[in-house]
Amino acid sequence: MNTLRIKKVALYGATAFLMFMPMMAAAELQPDPNTSLQSIASDTGLGTESPIKVILSVVRFALGLLGLISVIIILLGGFRWMTAAGNDENIKKAKKILFAGLTGMVIVLVGLGVVQYVISTLKTATNTTTTF
C-alpha cells in the first residue's frame, strides 16, 4: 500500500510539472523599446533591406547569369560553325548548339518579362511607389 501511494505522488508530481512546464518555457524577455532596426542589423550581421528587395535582386542576378551563359553558348556554336571547314557533321553539331543557346536566351527573356510583370502588378495592387 505504501508503494502505491508513492507511485500516485510521483504521477501527480510529474503531471503537475508537465502542466506548468509550457508556462516556464513561454517566459521571455521583453525587447528594449530603444533598440533600433540598425542596431539589430549590426548585431546579427543581417542587412536592413526588405525581403522583397533581396529576393528580387537574387532573381535578377540569376537571370543575368543565365543570360550570360546562353550568350556564351551562342558564341561557342558560332565559333564551331566557323571552324567546321565545310564538314556537315560539325555544322549539324554547331546548329544544335546555336539552337540550344537561342532557346535558353528566349527562356531567360520570358522569365525576365514574367518577373517584371509580377513586380509591376504587385506595385499597383499594393499601391507602392518604391522601386524594388
What pLDDT shows up at residue 93? 94
Q: What is the average pLDDT across 64-72?
A: 92
What pLDDT shows up at residue 94? 93
Give the integer Cα–Cα distance in Å for 113 and 129: 20
Query: Taking a C-beta distance cutoff of 8 angstroms, is the pair 77, 91 a contact?
Result: no
- Of 71, 55, 72, the closest CA to residue 105 belongs to 71
Query: Residue 51 — pLDDT band, cuts 50, 70, 90?
Result: confident
Q: What percent of the chain clears pLDDT 90, i.e. is strictly above it?
A: 32
Q: What is the average pLDDT across 83-96?
A: 91
Pick the residue with more confidence: 101 or 46? 101
Concatenating the DSSP letter of every residue in 54-75 gives: HHHHHHHHHHHHHHHHHHHHHH
Pick the residue with more confidence: 7 or 102? 102
Query: Taking a C-beta distance cutoff of 8 angstroms, is the pair 73, 97 a contact?
Result: yes
What pLDDT shows up at residue 34? 64
Furthest-apart CA atoms within the chain: distance in Å: 103
pTM of the model: 0.60
How confident is the model over 23-36, as pLDDT tens digits?
555 555 566 666 66
What pLDDT shows up at residue 69? 93
What pLDDT shows up at residue 4? 75
Pick the residue with more confidence: 43 or 6? 6
Using only C-alpha atoms, what is the Rg of the chain? 31
